[in-house]
Amino acid sequence: MYAQILTARKRSLAREKYKVEYCDYGMQSCQMVVQSNISKECHLVSTEHYQMLKIDPSVISSVFEELKPLAEKWIDNRIELVGTAVYGLRKYTRGAWLHAHLDHLRTHVVSAILNIAQDVDEDWPLQIEDHQGNKYEIILAPGDMVWYESAKLIHARIKPFKGRSYENIFVHYMPRSLNWYTEDVGLTSEPSRIITISDLENAEIEFKEQRKKARDELEKREKSMEEKYSALSVEERLAVLSKL
């Protein structure tokens, strides 16, 4: 899969360049500011610490499909997941940093960071807290991947990036059943109802039962149609086909 992504990256770069990505000014170090000795003021000279490169949709679909079994295995196959987002290649440049944050509660439940390429002066760690509040720093090399609960565990890259480029792909999944949050919840607020893993497992059972029932009904209707069609004479079959 990594080789496939590298090939897609090479093809995309042959057609276009990285484009400056939308920036969240409260969370990301987007701006490059310099102080003018002449005017004695600070001026914004660049917002290019975060850039995005689109890659072929077929590669995006392949990443979704190939990582889905790994995502479900990572959560001990407790529930079925569905892919919600695969961003293109996001490139960070010198000076970039990312404030401690959580991702979207509804769609970014089980996530992965794929490190694709980097040109660094020193390692740029991902900081993350586990469920017990223990803090860790994770170093990724090109070809490495890390799974994390991006909507649950606070994570950041608080140290300014030292290097020329650092390229990642982010992949996100959520529970497939409909028993899940419909909107984000802030750090200082609580959801109207806490959804537990037991709730998700029960919803998973109901979802599979409904899907099986719908599949059985469809098979029953198709079998009934086949039986009715097989009972028709040749002339009646031709008459049916002429109406289609």
- pLDDT at position 147: 97
Predicted model pTM: 0.78
Residue 82 scores a pLDDT above 90: yes
Residue 190 scores a pLDDT above 80: no
- pLDDT at position 30: 60
Overall average pLDDT of the 59-78 stretch: 94
Can you read off the two tokens belonging to residue 24?
């969240």
Residue 173 scores a pLDDT above 90: yes
**156 versus 41: which is more confidently predicted?**
156
Can you read off the two tokens belonging to residue 222?
């198709």
User: From CA 29, how far away is CA 101, in angstroms rounded?
Assistant: 14
SS3 6: helix
pLDDT in tens, 41-67: 665 555 557 788 998 999 999 999 999
CATH architecture of 2-186: Sandwich (2.60)
CA distances from residue 24 to 30, 75, 101, 165, 206 in whole angstroms, order as listed: 8, 30, 12, 20, 39
Q: Which residues contact 78 (CB under 8 A, 6 or more apart)?
A: 197, 200, 201, 204
User: From CA 5, how far away is CA 112, in angstroms rounded?
Assistant: 15
Instruction: Indicate the domain borders of the chain.
Output: 2-186, 200-243
End-to-end CA distance of the chain: 44
